[in-house]
Structure 1
Amino acid sequence: MKKQLIRVGTIYIPVEDPTESSKWYKEKLNAKLNYLDEDKAIMDMADVSLFLVKAQGQSSNFTDFNGEERFLLTYEVDGLDALITLHNEFRERGIKVGEIENRGHAGRNFVFYDLVGNKFDVWSELSPLYKERLVGEEE
């Protein structure tokens, strides 16, 4: 067994109301609800467990040294066509999304926001190791 970090298992996201946020994540992002109580909702999405934790007046966003609001994480999709399709689907579902951007590196990105304003990123470049694993699973 390798003694190193293998993957991200759980991400904790502050929300005002776990019940309402879990409904939003299920409806808008197709997340699966695994557990719900008054303090948290546990969702499965994108091969990661999301804990939507009750918190007041907080988000996962932060401000960098240039004063720009940043997101906690970037989701990946497999290619530009998939990015454009998802961007359009998110708009149709009523999710607040930013424009598709060229940030000067490989691929393109867009940001989206959840029910309480947590900001997330989507990138059109699926990591090679993950892509290899997916192809192996499909065979």
Structure 2
Amino acid sequence: MFKVGSVFIPVTDLKKSKKWYQDLLGVKLIDEWDGGAGFYFPDCPTQMGLVQVEKPQPSEFSIDKNKKNSYYNFLVADIDEAYSHFNRNGVRTSEIDEWDGMKFFDFIDPDGNPFSVVNEVEGSPFHREEVKRMQENE
């Protein structure tokens, strides 16, 4: 019944952020409105919106006093290539880490918004093919 349609990211410089997200994430512009712009990912039905704000807004939540979590992550097939892509382009990232076979790293956008990049792990219950099987068996 429900699907995730769009995720929204607060940005303080819409023009600069549009270019940054198009160049770094490969998103394609759908349309613009007063104070925002919508994009699609070439290989994903979820859309992304950038919304102009006056000052940076939190795009993460605290798990405990020393650990924070972004609200969503970006999925890639080749995490090493994604990591190299960001680093070649001067994007601030964490090191690639691994947990239970899944590799991931964090990156920061021009407004300081932190996001994670993850790869899929064959056999994981969270792998898209496993989720697809669960959906088909409902």
Q: Does 1:59 align with 2:54?
A: no
For structure 1, the residue ranges without an aligned partner over 5 or more in a row are 133-139
Equivalent-residue separation in structure 2 for 1:26 and 1:96 (angstroms) = 17
Instruction: State the identity %.
Output: 26
Q: Does 1:121 align with 2:116?
A: yes
Q: Where do 4+ consecutive residues of structure 1 move more than 4 Å? A: none
Q: Measure how far apart 1:61 and its partner are.
A: 1.8
Q: Measure how far apart 1:130 and its partner are.
A: 8.0
TM-score normalised by structure 1 residue count: 0.77
Three-state SS of the structure 2 residue aligned to 1:64 is: strand
Give the AA of the match of 1:23.
K
Alignment of 1:10-49 (within 5 A): 10-45=6-41, 47=44, 48-49=46-47
Cα distance 1:128–1:50, how it changes in 2: closer, same or farther (>3 A)?
closer
Q: Does 1:69 align with 2:64?
A: no
1:48-68 per-residue CA deviation (whole Å, 9 max, x = no partner) reads 211111122313122223431
Give the AA of the match of 1:72.
Y
1:75-102 per-residue CA deviation (whole Å, 9 max, x = no partner) reads 2223xxx111111111112221110002
**How many residue pairs get matched?**
125
TM-score normalised by structure 2 residue count: 0.78
Equivalent-residue separation in structure 2 for 1:86 and 1:64 (angstroms) = 26
CA RMSD in angstroms, aligned pairs only = 2.3
Structure with more of its chain in strand, by fraction: 2
Q: Does 1:96 align with 2:95?
A: no
